[in-house]
Amino acid sequence: MSTFITYTHKVMPNKTIYVKDTDLPLLEQAQAQLGDSVSSMFAEFLRERVARLTPEENTIIELINQITATREVVKQQRNLPEFIESEHAEAQAFAEKALKSFRAGEIRKTKAMFWAANTYYERAQRDAKEVGELNGRIGEMLGHSDTRSGRPRK
């Protein structure tokens, strides 16, 4: 008779946070005075900061995240022209400016930047869809391969 023992180790994920040399004394002072580990102090700060986000701030952040995710997908699609990615980049830049101006209390500027971000994002999505449809029609007319997958038609 043999016994088989399996050990399972749960490893905590590690993230490295770099601290500027000029901020090191502050970090050491906080740790000495508060007695907490750096990671627990940082996690507490993040929990408090996220809890204080306004609905408007969340809306802008969600737009930035949506544009970022779409840009990653667009970069992988070789059949789209570069200007589509550039339109997404413009949308992201305007969204980031909207967030920055919102945090600075510049509401009129925020509205303008947010509108521009949405406009560029919608335009980029529309253009990507139209280019995809055009590529499909051209492929059909030429009787070539499936333009989206790059595979020959059956």
User: In the chain, what are the domain boundaries?
Assistant: 15-52, 55-154
Specify the pLDDT at position 27: 81
pLDDT of residue 86: 92
Alpha-carbon torsion (115, 116, 117, 121), positive or negative: positive
pLDDT at 126: 95
pLDDT grade, residue 6 (50/70/90)?
low
Listed in sequence order, the residues at least 6 apart from 31 whose beta carbon sits closer than 8 Å to its beta carbon are 37, 38, 41
pLDDT tens by residue, 36-76 = 777 788 888 888 888 888 999 999 999 999 999 999 998 88
- In this predicted structure, the answer to whether residue 147 has a pLDDT above a threshold of 50 is no
Q: What stretch of H or E contains 7?
A: none
Q: What local confidence, expressed as pLDDT, does residue 7 receive?
A: 61
